[in-house]
Amino acid sequence: MSLTPPHPNPARQPSLFSTEAADPSLADLAGLLAGPGEVVRMGGTARVSVLVDAAWRVHVLVAELGARGVPASWEPTGDGRHLVRTAYATTLAPLALAWLRGPVKRPPAAFHLNGRRLRLWLAAAGAADPAGFRLRLGPADEECWPPVRAALAAVGLPAAFVESDEGGPAYRITGRRVARLAELVGDRPPAAPTAEWPGTHG
């Protein structure tokens, strides 16, 4: 008789959301769109792009996108930042269809977060601060913020909003929730500074 329960143990339920719960997929790019990432359509194709503030983020994102079969390129923007973007691809069209209302980015009704989506968001726009970790949002994406906040809470990450004049717009994870974030996003990528990845600093 097997000792393995036929259904997940409720005490272990959070692991279903972790990076180990499923193989990398194109759906994970929704994590970039939850943050400052953008998606645009062209005919039957789409492209995802995100502006990042550090070179290490470029390395991590290019590797993460490559693991999902999405070639990515990058270029400096002249202000110390870097634009990471995929090629236009038919495989990204469903993501654009789900997220765009005309030109406006908005999470689909069934939007949720998991470890792999959070990992991409953190790699693109997560930063440690004295109170915990900030996950940066798109400055013009106000309509996205409430459903993204709800999705964070649904995976055990209730977050406080950070105003623009305090380093936002962003959501801040604090206290014991930082350990939860670390559990969800998995091991620090080699290119990421220790201080910029939850569970490896302090």
**Does pLDDT of 9 surpass 80?**
no
What does the mean pLDDT of the chain come to? 88
With respect to residue 164, please indicate whether it lies within any of the assigned structural domains.
yes
Predicted local distance difference test score (pLDDT) of residue 112: 97
Encode pLDDT of 53-73 as tens digits.
999 999 999 999 999 999 999
Domain that holds residue 123: 17-196
Could you tell me if 198 and 187 are in contact, meaning their C-beta atoms sit under 8 angstroms apart?
A: no
Predicted local distance difference test score (pLDDT) of residue 167: 85
**Does pLDDT of 154 surpass 50?**
yes
With respect to residue 160, please indicate whether it lies within any of the assigned structural domains.
yes
- Percentage of the chain lying above the pLDDT 70 cut: 88
With respect to residue 12, please indicate whether it lies within any of the assigned structural domains.
no
With respect to residue 6, please indicate whether it lies within any of the assigned structural domains.
no
With respect to residue 1, please indicate whether it lies within any of the assigned structural domains.
no
Q: Give dist(CA 53, CA 94) in Å, integer.
A: 28
Q: Give dist(CA 195, CA 133) in Å, integer.
A: 10
* Residue 3 pLDDT grade (very low, low, confident, very high; cuts 50, 70, 90): very low
With respect to residue 8, please indicate whether it lies within any of the assigned structural domains.
no
For residue 115, give the CATH number of its domain: 3.10.28.10
Compute the average pLDDT of residues 12-22: 45
* Residue 162 pLDDT grade (very low, low, confident, very high; cuts 50, 70, 90): very high
Domain count across the chain: 1
Residue with the bigger pLDDT between 164 and 5: it is: 164
With respect to residue 21, please indicate whether it lies within any of the assigned structural domains.
yes
- Residue 157, classified by CB atoms within 10 Å of its CB into exposed (0-12), middle (13-18) or buried (19+), is buried
**Does pLDDT of 5 surpass 80?**
no
Predicted local distance difference test score (pLDDT) of residue 21: 47
Lowest mean pLDDT among 7-11, 72-76, 118-122, 180-184: 7-11
Q: What angle do CA 49, 51, 56 make, to 5 degrees?
A: 110
Q: Give dist(CA 123, CA 72) in Å, integer.
A: 15
Lowest mean pLDDT among 17-31, 60-74, 115-129, 145-159: 17-31
